[in-house]
Structure 1
């Protein structure tokens, strides 16, 4: 007499993969504070700088605090330099740029998932694609459109 097949309570390998990536699926923003940036030359080449916009700096501590950037199920550990005249991420930003092959014209959205005096965590959304030449010329070295050089998309 054949024994009936037993259903395992363990998830199958493909179910484990789905669970693993569920957290990092492309999704709409959750309503938490965020900032976005179209990457320019200073973001993706020496000097690899990522200044943090004033609108989000108001939410963050005025101190040097560990930061975790999360993208595609991986974490990058950096520091937020909130106690300097131009708050920014530290030089380890270069590792995030290189590991994710970021280029001029790519856009990143940084969603603030955790914010305390001991830890900051951003979920990062990356939008790939080179800007058309006519738009790239309007992006200054910080990856921002300027008042004298606005970016218009028709």
Structure 2
């Protein structure tokens, strides 16, 4: 705790979670609202930084744009307890406790070892497809018939050698890119996203949202040495989707405004 920090806490309620907003205490608003710039930056203990826009309503500051993504990423639910430390200059520290009163286990974040290794990943594992084929019906029907729609998943089972070839037959009216899963991507390193793709379709977006199992999985973009990679959130997605080396994923951009992707899996058979 910083000695000069201003402390306050909020108990999360279902109504505000459903609305995707958070109202700050009126006393805090009266004392600091005039000097608070927009947006503010939330800094949990995992080393991430989240940009949140706010508005004024009924003499209270309301966190709005960006807050919903923060809540989704940390799986904040009714009854969770959040402690805020305001350091000034629109910077907030945030600690999150669950309903038992214990601080949560924060998702994996980029550490120094990952930063040291990040440029060792070959960008050949990523392929981008920006242009839409003229005839979408050219997609192989046999591949489509193998897609498993259970649990809101789009999945093809194939051999290790054929997984990438099957993925390359995918077509869509939406832009997409392909990632081949390697052992490094299952450990510390993170997959690169083509720079041209992000410049053309994502611009200054800092968070991607990947739809999987009827849930949006936020992932932060990490920019380093002229590369752009999926960072915080990737590790959780890998575990939830049970990815293995040799699998291939297609990330299809279905909502450019919100940087929302559908994911299509091409699994290789593992002994």
Normalising by the residue count of structure 2, what TM-score does the alignment of the two structures yield? Answer: 0.35
Paired residues of 2:254 and 2:260 also in contact (CA < 8 A): yes
Aligned-pair CA distance for 1:74: 2.4
Paired residues of 1:81 and 1:87 also in contact (CA < 8 A): yes
User: Alpha carbons of 1:58 and 1:130: their partners in 2 closer, same or farther (altered >3 Å)?
Assistant: farther
Q: Which has the higher helix share?
A: 2
Q: Which has the higher strand share?
A: 2
User: Alpha carbons of 1:91 and 1:122: their partners in 2 closer, same or farther (altered >3 Å)?
Assistant: same
- The 5 A counterparts of 1:26-105 are 26=154, 29-47=171-189, 49-81=190-222, 85-105=226-246
2-structure distance, mates of 1:100, 1:25: 9
- The 5 A counterparts of 1:139-150 are none
Normalising by the residue count of structure 1, what TM-score does the alignment of the two structures yield? Answer: 0.58
Name the structure 1 match of 2:262. 123
Q: What secondary structure sits across from 1:57 in the alignment?
A: helix
Q: What secondary structure sits across from 1:69 in the alignment?
A: strand
Q: Any gaps of 5 or more consecutive residues in structure 1? A: 1-20, 133-154
Which has the higher Rg, Structure 1 or Structure 2? Answer: 2
Match of 2:249 among 108, 119, 136: 108
Paired residues of 2:153 and 2:212 also in contact (CA < 8 A): no
Count of paired positions: 109
User: Alpha carbons of 1:30 and 1:101: their partners in 2 closer, same or farther (altered >3 Å)?
Assistant: same
Q: Any gaps of 5 or more consecutive residues in structure 2? A: 1-148, 156-169
Say what the alpha-carbon RMSD is for the aligned residues. 3.0
2-structure distance, mates of 1:100, 1:41: 15
1-structure distance, mates of 2:181, 2:196: 18
Aligned-pair CA distance for 1:23: 10
Cα deviations by residue, 1:97-146 (Å, 9 ceiling, x for unpaired): 01111010000000011123xx31110011111489xxxxxxxxxxxxxx
Aligned-pair CA distance for 1:55: 4.4
Aligned-pair CA distance for 1:57: 2.6
Q: What secondary structure sits across from 1:63 in the alignment?
A: coil
Structure with higher RCO (Cα < 8 A, 6+ apart)? 1
